[in-house]
Amino acid sequence: MLLLFIKMVYENTEAGTLKKHPLPQGCRWTDINEKSGISLLNDYKHILLSLSTGKDADGKLIHEDPLISAIYADAQTRLREPRHLEQMIKTLGAGAWEREKSILAMSMAKAFRGELTADWRAANPDLISGESRQSAFCIAGIPSVHGHNSAEALLEKIKAEREALQPKKKTRTRKRA
């Protein structure tokens, strides 16, 4: 997964989506793409450690980005054979990236249209409509014409929770003279 992130950063930088490459020199796709064998595996392990700690193998600071450090926190690889890493790099390389992007785009479009959950929603209408049991919102005094798991009902619940978290305004009492 972390290898995919390195590849995504590379592709987005190349496409101009990212104005500046966020990963430091020595920790980029181009730094591992052409390597092979045990040096590839060792360098990949060093890259993961460097991105996690922000320091290279010599202890020199290479980045101070907390987001990168968070993404790579405690990063490690279970790969023991360089050929497996080489295969992953080859798969993410030439042409595969375009296929992955198109598959992701199709999946996202289907998700937004509700096509990925159509069968489940048809089999579980009570979980969506809420008509088979009393809504938790009604019990809490929030009238709901929608089911307890509908988008409208969930939005109402979020609004009610936010309102409940708002600090109550204190009113001052005037001293009588």
Res. 145 pLDDT band, cuts 50 70 90: very low
> What pLDDT shows up at residue 65?
86
Question: Alpha-carbon distance 110 to 92, whole Å?
Answer: 24
pLDDT digits (tens, 9 = 90+) for 18-66: 888 889 999 999 999 889 999 999 999 999 999 989 999 899 999 988 8
| Of 33, 30, 46, the residue nearest 86 (C-alpha) | 33
pLDDT of res. 177: 62
Distance CA 169, CA 116 (A): 45
**The pLDDT of residue 136 is above 50:** no
Distances (CA, A) of 151 to 35, 129, 155: 49, 10, 6
Checking phi first, is residue 60 left (phi over 0); if not, alpha (psi -120 to 50) or beta? beta
Taking alpha carbons only, the member of 143, 158, 149 closest to residue 131 is 149
- The residue assigned the tokens 């008509």 is 131
Q: Which fold has domain 2-92?
A: Ferritin (1.20.1260)
Going by C-beta distance under 8 Å and a sequence separation of 6 or more, which residues neighbour residue 27?
A: 6, 47, 50, 51, 62
**Contact residues for 73 (Cβ-Cβ < 8 A; gap 6+):** 52
Tell me the DSSP string of 52-71: HHSB-TTS-B----HHHHHH
Task: Read off the pLDDT of residues 97-129 as tens digits, 9 standing for 90 and up.
Answer: 677 677 777 776 777 677 777 777 777 776 665
pLDDT value at residue 46? 92
The amino acid at 106? M
Domain ranges of the chain: 2-92, 124-165
